[in-house]
């Protein structure tokens, strides 16, 4: 998407900072951030871009070596990839036998979703991530669904956020509009405005 934005608006300079930690927009002098999940900071304006479902994924090579789990209980015999700093993201869209949501303790943890994708592709285990993060590896078959019949439909909100007291610059507004346009077909429940 970035290449298309740069072709459309060659006069706008972009600086992308990608990680999964919380960023103070004012302190870090960030014009716009993409936040996943529930928003709590009332000093921010938000534009809902849509909702992205969660799914369990693994590489075909991992499943060939370790077997494909057929039930939630089978996961105890597998390497589970999860987040080291955002423990709430280790709640997977599965229900245990007692009806409680499954909260995993990662066998291998990382601080970013990008790292977890690479670990899963490399055959290190099973991961639970939002669809918008895994479009390419799912389409090219380097990651495949695990336990799709047991997975509950759970989504994470995807928002573009900016500081409430800041006048939104033209370049920031153009980038936010571009993201909304591009993600329209990739996120469920995408909205034109919020």
* 109-158 pLDDT tens trace: 998 899 999 999 999 999 999 998 898 999 999 999 999 999 999 988 88
Proportion of the chain above pLDDT 70, given as a percent: 90
Global confidence as pTM: 0.78
Average pLDDT over residues 153-178: 83
Strand ranges (DSSP E) for 15-133? 33-36, 44-58, 80-83, 91-95, 101-103, 108-110, 126-130
């Amino acid at each position: 998407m970035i290449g298309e934005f740069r072709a459309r608006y060659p006069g706008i300079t972009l600086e992308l900072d990608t990680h999964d930690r919380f960023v103070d927009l004012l302190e870090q002098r960030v014009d716009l951030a993409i936040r996943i999940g529930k928003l709590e900071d009332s000093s921010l304006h938000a534009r809902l871009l849509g909702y992205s479902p969660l799914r369990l994924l693994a590489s075909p090579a991992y499943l060939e070596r370790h077997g494909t789990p057929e039930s939630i209980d089978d996961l105890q015999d597998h390497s589970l990839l999860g987040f080291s700093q955002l423990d709430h993201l280790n709640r997977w869209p599965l229900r245990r036998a007692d009806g409680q949501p499954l909260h995993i303790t990662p066998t291998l943890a990382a601080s970013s979703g990008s790292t977890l994708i690479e670990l899963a592709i490399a055959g290190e285990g099973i991961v639970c991530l939002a669809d918008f993060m895994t479009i390419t590896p799912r389409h090219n078959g380097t990651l495949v669904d695990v336990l799709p019949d047991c997975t509950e439909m759970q989504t994470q909100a995807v928002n573009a956020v900016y500081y409430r007291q800041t006048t939104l610059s033209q370049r920031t507004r153009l980038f936010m509009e571009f993201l909304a346009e591009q993600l329209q077909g990739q996120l469920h429940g995408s909205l034109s405005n919020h």
